[in-house]
Chain A
Amino acid sequence: MSKQKGAKDLVPGGMITEAGNAREYETGDWRTEKPDVDHDKCIHCFFCWAYCPDSSIIVDPEEGKMKGFDFKHCKGCGICARICPKNAITMVSER
């Protein structure tokens, strides 16, 4: 809470004046289940990357490989697990 700005330091009108700021809003704490990937089953088809609504699949474009998840932003929706053609992703409880 301490890093939040006070009323006098805000842009009048409440506009956001920095581009690409959505990454600063860490939505990962909305999650109740998180995806877990079995790298032995993964064929790096990138379906999960294409379907993820939050850009939370980490890939290495040089290697052409799926590396894991951005848990600061992954909301745990489970779309990646549902779309995976090899059932390499499973949702596990975080409780």
Chain B
Amino acid sequence: MGTVLGLNGNSAVAHAMRQVNPHVVAAYPITPQTDCVERFAEFVADGRVDTEFVTVESEHSAMSACVGAAAGGGRVMTATSANGLALMWEIVYIAASMRLPIVMMVANRALSGNINIHCDHSDTMGARDSGWIQLFSENAQEAYDNIIMAIKIAEDMSVRLPVMVTQDGFIISHALERMELLDDEEVQKFIGPYKERYPMLDLKNPVTYGPLDLFDYYFEHKWSQIDAVEHCLPIIQKGSDEFGELSGRNYELLESYKLDDAEFGVIALGSTCGTAKEAVDRMREAGKKVGLLKVRCFRPFPTEHIIKALSPLKGVAVLDRSSTFGGFGGPVFNEVRSALYDAPERPLVIDFLYGLGGRDIFMEDIEVAFQRIEGVVTKGRIDTHVDFLGLRE
């Protein structure tokens, strides 16, 4: 079973989209997502998929077309990055509100300005409150796997929510990796046929999507959406477990790396986790009790899992690849620290903003983060909650 290929993250996701063979893809090109959609357009041109590919004139139209197609009753996918996601903004929220199981790959890129095409997480972190499920990927294999799992999770009848699958722009999207693809038939069998729910094209059962919803019902509808997002963690894990049985690649909401007997941990998302694992290995060889917690599922935030994983530690350094500009630390720090507030045993937590606009992060940077949190624990006091890694001051 399966095929081993050398692919970059964009091509890997394009292949996942080919194997999913969605009814509709509407997308607009933006670096670093572009060659994902280009590859997929080739599959369309070569007749390898049945997809109706809509070449829209902007990302606002891309997501609007996706919403229309999904409300119509189709399996729908798209992809974007940074400013493209920002231009989609209004419709991103509407897709989630209407409970449309659209799957979108986001190749993470810094938001302007100034103009920068390289990786940070400011684009998807900005969309963290939009009601989408967010799965972060460490490498191209995970991006491919997450896309296929995302279809299954999004379309589960108890979920019916859109899913954003991220991969770090250029670092993953453009780097060639050894990849294992599933067979096309295996993917189709895993995701199953698309199940419609209130399709607008069912003319015998007419429905109205997105009606005026004022002070009499809007609040109740939002509660229903909040409730749906809060309760989908078990389905995300179930979809991941079923994928593990199929592929042999097992995924959790969070991945603990050498945390079992650790005293100090770092938390990261995306490709930095690969670097952090190497740094952990190197420090372990030097006798340091350190580990990594990788957050794969950021929305919904797996609060209980975070508490369980981090409570036994003495100190935690969060690595945030975006800023909240005036908030108390980065978005990951906000969530992690808040989750730990009521934990009976909790570590000291500090935050590092790093890698904005694609600034490289090295093993030495991660070692600095570990040294800093160890120093904080030794001192028993946090003097600086939020600091920077790899910044020239």
Residues of A within 8 A of B (CB): 4-8, 10-17, 19, 21
Residues of B within 8 A of A10 (CB): 217, 220-221, 224
Residues of B within 8 A of A16 (CB): 207-208, 211
Q: Closest CB-CB distance, A13 to chain B, in whole Å?
A: 4
Q: Does B328 sit at the interface, judged by CB under 8 A?
A: no
Q: Mark B168-182, 1 if CB is under 8 A from A, else 0.
A: 000000000000000
Residues of B within 8 A of A (CB): 97-100, 160, 198, 205-211, 213, 216-217, 219-221, 223-225, 227-228
Check A7–B209 contact: CB distance below 8 A. no
| Chain B facing A: main interface SS | loop
**Given A12-B228, A14-B98, 14 more pairs with CB closer than 8 A:** A5-B217, A6-B220, A7-B220, A7-B221, A10-B220, A12-B225, A13-B160, A14-B97, A14-B221, A14-B224, A15-B98, A16-B207, A17-B205, A19-B206
Check A12–B206 contact: CB distance below 8 A. no
Check A15–B209 contact: CB distance below 8 A. yes
* Nearest A residue (CB) for B210: A14
Q: Closest CB-CB distance, B376 to chain A, in whole Å?
A: 44
Q: Closest CB-CB distance, B17 to chain A, in whole Å?
A: 24
Residues of B within 8 A of A15 (CB): 98, 198, 207-209, 211
> Do A13 and B206 contact each other (CB < 8 Å), given the known contacts A7-B220, A7-B224?
no
Instruction: Select one of B160, B205, B213, B216 contacting A14, CB under 8 A.
Output: B213
Give the one of B205, B208, B210, B223 with max A CB within 10 A: B208
Q: Closest CB-CB distance, B78 to chain A, in whole Å?
A: 19
Check A12–B208 contact: CB distance below 8 A. no
5 closest A-B pairs by beta carbon, nearest first, are: A13-B99, A7-B220, A16-B208, A14-B221, A7-B223
Residues of A within 8 A of B219 (CB): 7
Bound CA–CA A8/B224 (angstroms): 7
Residues of A within 8 A of B207 (CB): 15-17
